[in-house]
């Protein structure tokens, strides 16, 4: 037996101080999108925004449904729409944040497993790493690839 380990590197910013201006703008787009989420059951409003290689920014939010789990997370709504509207552009970065009772959550809210898998496949599809910005009111964390969120990605797809 050989024991191995995985190390995850990320940058952490207090109240977004020192965060790249383009990343701040993307996070602001995600925050605005969170405010318009349809979340009557959980009251957990999530917003996501993706910046594409062609310069376009796509924002989206979670969409709940009484026939759970028929709703979709903000990250997947944004990614699927971006790929549908701009199939030849790849995702450069993605920002995610969440609100409860109209107020941004204090700490970062990380994507669920299904969203992480979609993000990883989008990264593989585009051939470029996706920077992921996860914002909270007090702390924002940034990783430079989906490998840091899903190190054992399912990628056994026909090549």
Active site residues: 75
Residues 25, 13: Cα–Cα separation, whole Å:
15
Residues 6+ apart with CB under 8 A from 143: 8, 9, 10, 131, 132, 134, 149
**What burial letters (b/e) apply to 26-39, b meaning 16+ CB within 10 Å?**
bbbbbbebbeebeb
Residues 54, 26: Cα–Cα separation, whole Å:
15
Neighbours of 154 (CB within 10 A): 9
Question: Are 148 and 9 contacting, i.e. CB atoms less than 8 angstroms apart?
Answer: yes
């Amino acid at each position: 037996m050989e024991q191995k380990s995985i190390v995850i590197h990320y940058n952490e910013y207090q109240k977004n101080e020192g965060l790249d201006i383009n990343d701040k703008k993307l996070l602001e787009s995600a925050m605005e999108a969170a405010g318009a989420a349809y979340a009557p059951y959980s009251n957990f409003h999530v917003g996501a925004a993706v910046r594409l290689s062609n310069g376009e920014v796509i924002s989206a939010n979670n969409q709940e449904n009484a026939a759970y789990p028929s709703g979709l997370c903000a990250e997947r709504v944004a990614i699927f729409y971006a790929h549908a509207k701009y199939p030849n552009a790849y995702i450069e970065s993605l920002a995610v944040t969440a609100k409860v009772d109209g107020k941004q959550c204090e700490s970062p809210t990380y994507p669920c497993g299904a969203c992480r898998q979609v993000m990883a496949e989008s990264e593989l599809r585009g051939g470029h790493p996706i920077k992921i910005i996860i914002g909270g009111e007090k702390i924002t964390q940034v990783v430079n690839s989906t490998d840091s969120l899903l190190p054992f990605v399912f990628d056994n797809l026909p090549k």
